[in-house]
Chains A and B, each alone.
Chain A
Amino acid sequence: MVMTRSSSRNMNGGGDGGASSAATSGGPPPSLEWRFSQVFGERTAGEEVQEVDIISAIEFDKSGDHLATGDRGGRVVLFERTDNKDHGGSRRDAEQMDYTVRHPEFRYKTEFQSHEPEFDYLKSLEIEEKINKIRWCQPANGALFLLSTNDKTIKYWKVQEKKIKKISEMNIDPSKTPGQPSSSSPPPLVANGVDADPAHGYISNFTFPPGGIPSLRLPVVTSLETSLVARCRRVYAHAHDYHINSISNSSDGETFISADDLRVNLWNLEISNQSFNIVDVKPTNMEDLTEVITSAEFHPIHCNMLAYSSSKGSIRLIDMRQSALCDSHTKLFEEPEAPGSRSFFTEIIASISDIKFSKDGRYILSRDYMTLKLWDINMDSGPVASYQVHEHLRPKLCDLYENDSIFDKFECCLSGDGLRVATGSYSNLFRVFGASKGSTEAATLEASKNPMRRQIQTPARPSRAISSMTRMVRRGSESPGAEANGNGYDFTNKLLHMAWHPTENSIACAAANSLYMYYA
Chain B
Amino acid sequence: MAMVDEPLYPIALLIDELKNDDIQLRLNSIRRLSTIARALGEERTRKELIPFLSENSDDDDEVLLAMAEELGVFIPFVGGIEHAHVLLPPLESLCTVEETSVREKAVDSLCKIGSQMKESDLVDSFVPLVKRLAAGEWFAARVSACGLFHVAYQGCTDVLKTELRSSYGQLCQDDMPMVRRAAASNLGKFATTVESTFLNAEIMTMFDGLTKDEQDSVRLLAVEGCAALGKLLEPQECVARILPVIVNFSQDKSWRVRYMVANQLYELCEAVGPDCTKTDLVPAYVRLLRDNEAEVRIAAAGKVTKFCQLLNPELAIQHILPCVKELSSDSSQHVRSALASVIMGMAPILGKDSTIEHLLPIFLSLLKDEFPDVRLNIISKLDQVNQVIGIDLLSQSLLPAIVELAEDRHWRVRLAIIEYVPLLASQLGIGFFDDKLGALCMQWMQDKVYSIREAAANNLKRLAEEFGSEWAMQHIVPQVLDMVNNPHYLHRMMALRAISLMAPVMGSEITCSKFLPVVVEASKDRVPNIKFNVAKLLQSLIPIVDQSVVDKTIRQCLVDLSEDPDVDVRYFANQALRSIDAAAVAQS
Contact = CB atoms under 8 A, between A and B. Distances in A.
**B9, B10, B97, B253: residue with the most chain A Cβ atoms closer than 10 Å:** B10
Contacts of B16: 170-172, 219
A128 to B, nearest CB: 30
Nearest to B23: A193
Contacts of A141: 96-98, 138, 140
A192 B28 contact: yes
Interface in B12-52: 12-20, 22, 24-25, 28-29, 32, 35, 38-45, 48-49, 52
Given A172-B13, A172-B16, A206-B11, A191 B55 contact: no
Interface residues of B, number: 64
Contacts, number: 165
Contacts of B19: 165, 167, 170, 219, 221
Contact of A170 (B1, B96, B139, B216): B1
Contacts of A282: none
Nearest to B61: A233
Contacts of B32: 200, 203
A217 B40 CA distance: 8
A394 to B, nearest CB: 44
Interface string A176-205: 100000111101000111000001101110
Contacts of A320: 216, 254, 256
B422 interface: no
B178 interface: yes
A162 interface: yes
Interface stretch (A14-22, A207-215, A429-437): A207-215
B255 A324 contact: yes
A302 interface: yes
Contacts of A206: 7, 11
Nearest to B178: A253
Contact of A192 (B14, B44, B139, B293): B14
B58 interface: yes
**A158, A163, A167, A176: residue with the most chain B Cβ atoms closer than 10 Å:** A167
A321 B100 contact: no
B217 to A, nearest CB: 5
B292 interface: yes
A184 B6 contact: yes
Contacts of B147: none
A270 interface: yes
A321 B1 contact: no
B4 interface: yes
A191 B25 contact: yes
A171 B44 contact: no
B3 to A, nearest CB: 7
A192 B17 contact: yes
B418 to A, nearest CB: 29
Given A218-B18, A218-B49, A303 B24 contact: no
**A138, A217, A218: residue with the most chain B Cβ atoms closer than 10 Å:** A218
A200 B293 CA distance: 57
Contacts of B115: none
B35 A203 contact: yes
A176 B4 CA distance: 12
Contacts of B253: 321-322
A173 interface: yes
B293 A211 contact: no
Nearest to A207: B38
Contacts of B1: 169-170, 173
Given A170-B1, A212-B42, A215-B8, A321 B215 contact: no
A139 B138 CA distance: 8
A411 B202 CA distance: 50
A63 interface: no
A199 B9 contact: yes
Given A218-B48, A324-B293, A253 B25 contact: no
A84 B88 CA distance: 37
B105 to A, nearest CB: 14
Contacts of B12: 171-172, 216
A216 B13 contact: no
A381 B142 CA distance: 45
16 contacts: A138-B178, A140-B139, A158-B98, A163-B58, A170-B19, A176-B3, A192-B25, A206-B11, A208-B39, A212-B41, A213-B8, A215-B4, A218-B15, A218-B48, A303-B216, A304-B216
Given A252-B215, A321-B252, A322-B255, 8 more contacts: A172-B13, A182-B3, A183-B6, A191-B25, A215-B4, A253-B176, A254-B181, A324-B255
